[in-house]
Homo-oligomer: A and B are copies of this chain.
Amino acid sequence: MFEIFAQYLQSKIELSDQELKMIEEVCVVRKLRKNQYLLQEGDIWRFNAFITKGCLRTYSIDDKSTEHVLNFAIENYWIGDRESLLNGTPSRFNIDAIEESTLLLISKENFAGLMKSIPQFQDLVNLIIERSFVASQDRINNSISLNAEEKYIRFIEKQPQIALRVPQHMIASYLGMTPETLSRIRKQSAKK
């Protein structure tokens, strides 16, 4: 279980055996069945979570009970609600498993401890957050610049692994369109 995370870490930063052990000691394994929640709206999120197997999504629910997918995440990605984690406020989002999944959870406190004692780990975390921010900006740019078809094309170009793995209606939601619209776009695009 931990092996995958260890490999991920060692591909990004140098870690002594002792440091690796420190990390392992604070990891808690969490297995989720398909459709099971990792986080529900209203809960406070207190972890950093790394996915070693499976696929999850973060989504919000509006007043018409429509779900809106904010993010997908698969193996070797981090997931969680940084807003709730940072501010200690109840989450406005839900996270659930699209496939049977396995995660490693590290509590906020233990995570802070790791960052303090392992500077490279701290740097890695900062880099990940910065990259996440840059990716978000790109997505915002797409959302205000592109039409439905262009959004879909960019998505499959940029995240083909995810495009193949998650149901189409969730992709539509992620792209901010209805499932019917995405279905028609795909039909059209296929012709070309």
- Interface of A with B (CB < 8 Å)? 60, 62, 66, 68-70, 82-83, 86, 92, 126, 129-134, 136-141, 143-145, 173-176
Contact = CB atoms under 8 A, between A and B. Distances in A.
Contact of A145 (B60, B82, B126): B60
Copies of this chain: 2
**In the complex, the 6 A-B pairs of residues with the closest C-beta atoms, listed nearest first:** A136-B136, A144-B176, A133-B133, A143-B143, A83-B134, A68-B145
Given A60-B145, A62-B145, A145-B68, A129 B133 contact: yes
B82 A141 contact: no
A176 B60 CA distance: 20
A97 B68 CA distance: 35
27 contacts: A60-B145, A62-B145, A66-B145, A68-B144, A70-B137, A70-B140, A70-B141, A70-B144, A82-B133, A82-B137, A83-B137, A86-B130, A86-B131, A92-B141, A126-B126, A126-B129, A129-B129, A129-B133, A132-B133, A133-B133, A139-B140, A140-B143, A143-B143, A143-B144, A143-B176, A144-B173, A144-B174
Contacts of A174: 144
Contacts of A70: 137, 140-141, 144
A140 to B, nearest CB: 6
A124 to B, nearest CB: 12
A136 B143 contact: no
A130 B82 contact: yes
